[in-house]
Structure 1
Amino acid sequence: MELRQLASFLAVVEEGQFARAAARLFLSPPAVTGHIQRLERELGVQLLERSPIALTPAGERLVPHARTMLAAANAATDAVADLRTDDDVPLRIGVMAPGSAELTPVILRAFRRTHPNIPLTVENLSFAEHTTALTEHKVDLAFVRPRPDDERLTVDVLTTEPRVLIVPSSGPGGDADALRLSDVLDLAFVSLPQGVPRVFTDYLYFASARNGVPPRRGIDEAATIQDVLTSVSAGRGTGAALHSFSRLYRWPGIRFVPVVDAPWAQSVLASRRDDIRPQVRAFRLLATTLAHDLGPRLASASEAARAFPPLEP
């Protein structure tokens, strides 16, 4: 999928004719036709009825995504107008899995498409690297949760979500449709390694509802979400997460149960406050634009995949 294909598609939709769309784009009608045909072949669906011009159901679904993609690309291009194209230093992106749910891969793919001259690398982050990955210059931007409270960092909020408890299917809370904070505070939670910042431990253990009483700790220590899921599925502890986790993880022996009265929490894109490089600004701008415009529509991972299929090798 190329930006010029999306531009031709939107021009035909808005002008209602191939000829007028071609004139608007300073292209020939056959070129516009070719763009749309290639787009339809890549997506495997028909987007437009030709006589008369009308959107198919697939075309209607693509329109808002196409507009968002073009708007984000234009905004990001403006942000890096002064960026040297011969700079081959990678932009290092940290992800505390799964980042900001379905938005994470969408943002990475969109940036690769709109800024192919800026190489990206992606680093997996542990809970202990919630802030240090940035402050120690391991990465340049990081998808983390919850919002860091380090004054050296700046954050862009990408999602704000309810909380869920991660429990063994056959353990306490495993048969509940919903829980309250009063139901969960006495459970044994997974332990966290030394070095995990206070803001993260407070988030995991629902500290705002504990009145200073420390949580019970389970047998296992968890440094990543995979560690949490493994421990919980073995019945050795309890975890907590954002609501989007229940869409993204299918793990034997666990359930995600809403905690209905817990404060909502955020996933964010964090960066160093003093890092004013154009490529960092461009990534932030693209991420926040897509989060604002696409976030409500990306609750379905399959919809995200249809809207932004992976790049071909």
Structure 2
Amino acid sequence: MAQPVPNLHHLELFYHVARAGGITAAVRAMPYGIQQPAISGQVAQLEEELGVRLFQRRPFTLTPAGKELFDFLAPFFGALPEIAERISGTASKHLRLAAPATVIRDHLPAVLAGIRKSQPDLELSLIDASQSRIFELLEQEEVDLAVAELEGRAPSGMKTEVLLSLPLVLLLPPGQAMPKAGLKALAGDVALVRTPEDTAIARLFAKGLNRKNLRWPSRIEVNTIELVHAYVAEGFGVGVSVQAPGVKLPKGVKAVELKGFPDLAIAGVWRGKLGPLAESVMDGLRKRAKK
């Protein structure tokens, strides 16, 4: 029958006792708080599991079995502080971000350039992702911070900070004016160009239509706002977009704000506590949003 594997925590306590030269000294030297009776009891359990005495109590001396075990454990437990420091140092200069392509292209470069001035060895992983994919990446702890379109509440356990609220707009192709009857004159009769129905913009647009008791199914679905703009510019139909800072519409395309429709929120999203680099990015995004 195989010997049971000793409890790892019991082994750690024995290492500290052997290294400090006694239980009382180990209590003072432990990297975390633990009382003397707890150490005594758990080391006694280790001795019982192994079936040997590991040290003499008074005066403190390791038995041959105890010295053999300590010599085996010391390289591992002794190196933990160093490896933790190395891992922490690597993590402190590596930042993983997820955001839509427009944010990565148009807004993050300026924010990250400022951070690189104080952190020249900054390492970056930038992921172009949709709203649903962003939440998956955060849930799986594959990114440290994300910028996402936020519709309603984020999934449980995630923290958010809204940076911008963008009004929805209707894009009219060159040469087309908004009819006096407004949306009622367009809905259902004019081709609608929008992003897929599972995107935040499409869902917010649908909510606005429901408020006005209107139906307007899309005839053309494209996967980015830029493509909506391009197809509207070519006269394929009327498009749904957002009034975003710094976004230039194609020549001849007009944007009409959709009054009474919900705004699209752009938010920073993360789990747990932000590290220093991620907090610096959020600070940069806040300042950029105010502009």
Deviations 1:231-277 (A, max 9, x none): 222222433333225x3224245222223443433211222x2x446
Match of 2:202? 201
Q: Please, which moves more after superposition, 125-134 or 108-117?
A: 125-134
2:232 pairs with 1:232: yes
* Residue of 146, 151, 161 corresponding to 2:166: 161
CA offset digits 1:202-243 (Å, max 9, x no partner): 22x251441496742333221122222222222224333332
Structure 2 equivalent of residue 266 of structure 1: 265
Q: 2:175 aligned to 167, 170, 173, which one? A: 170
Partner secondary structure for residue 269 of structure 2: strand
Distance 1:226 1:135, change over 3 A: farther
Aligned AA (2:172): V
Residue 195 of structure 2 contacts residue 201 of structure 2 at CA under 8 Å; is this kept in 1? no
Specify the alignment match of 1:290 in structure 2. Answer: 284
Instruction: Please state if 1:110 is matched with 2:111.
Output: no
Corresponding residue for 1:256? 255
SS in 2 for 1:84: helix
Superposition CA RMSD, Å: 4.0
The alignment status of 1:241 with 2:246, answered yes or no, reads: no
Q: Output the amino acid matched with 2:280.
A: L
Structure 1 unmatched ranges of 5 or more: 1-81, 299-313
| Change over 3 Å in CA distance of 1:217–1:191 after alignment to 2 | farther
Match of 2:154 in 1: 150
Q: Separation in 2 of the partners of 1:183 and 1:113?
A: 54
- Paired with 1:97 and 1:184, the residues of 2 have a C-alpha distance of 30
> In structure 2, what is the Cα distance between the partners aligned to 1:232 and 1:95?
25
Q: Is the CA contact (8 Å cut-off) linking 2:208 and 2:260 kept in structure 1?
A: no
Q: Choose 1 or 2 for highest CA Rg.
A: 2
Tell me the residue number matched to 1:66.
none
Q: What amino acid is aligned across from residue 163 of structure 1 in structure 2?
A: L
Q: Runs of 5+ in structure 2 lacking a partner?
A: 1-85
Q: What secondary structure sits across from 1:217 in the alignment?
A: coil
> In 2, Cα distance between the equivalents of 1:116 and 1:100?
19
CA distance in 1, matches of 2:89, 2:218: 51
Are 1:141 and 2:138 counterparts? no
Contact 2:171 2:256 in 1 (8 A): yes
Residue 188 of structure 1, CA deviation: 4.0
Indicate how the Cα distance of structure 1 residues 190 and 128 shifts in structure 2: closer, same or farther if over 3 A, else same. farther
Deviation at 1:100, TM superposition (A): 9.2
SS at match of 2:261: coil
**Alpha-carbon separation, structure 2, partners of 1:243 and 1:157:** 16
| 8 Å contact kept, 2:134–2:148 | yes
User: Deviation at 1:160?
Assistant: 2.3
Greater relative contact order: 1 or 2 (C-alpha under 8 angstroms, separation 6 or more)? 1
Structure 2 distance, partners of 1:123, 1:192, is: 20
The amino acid across from 2:103 in the alignment is G
Q: Which amino acid aligns with 1:112?
A: R
Greater Cα offset, 207-216 or 247-256: 207-216
The 2-side partners of 1:126 and 1:288 are apart by 19
Alpha-carbon displacement from aligned partner over 1:50-73 (angstroms, at most 9, x marks no partner)? xxxxxxxxxxxxxxxxxxxxxxxx
Shift of 1:119: 0.8
Alpha-carbon displacement from aligned partner over 1:263-307 (angstroms, at most 9, x marks no partner): 433211222x2x44625xx42x334433444533x3xxxxxxxxx
Which letter maps to 1:125?
A
How far apart, in 2, do the equivalents of 1:248 and 1:167 lie? 16
Partner amino acid, structure 2, of 1:170: G
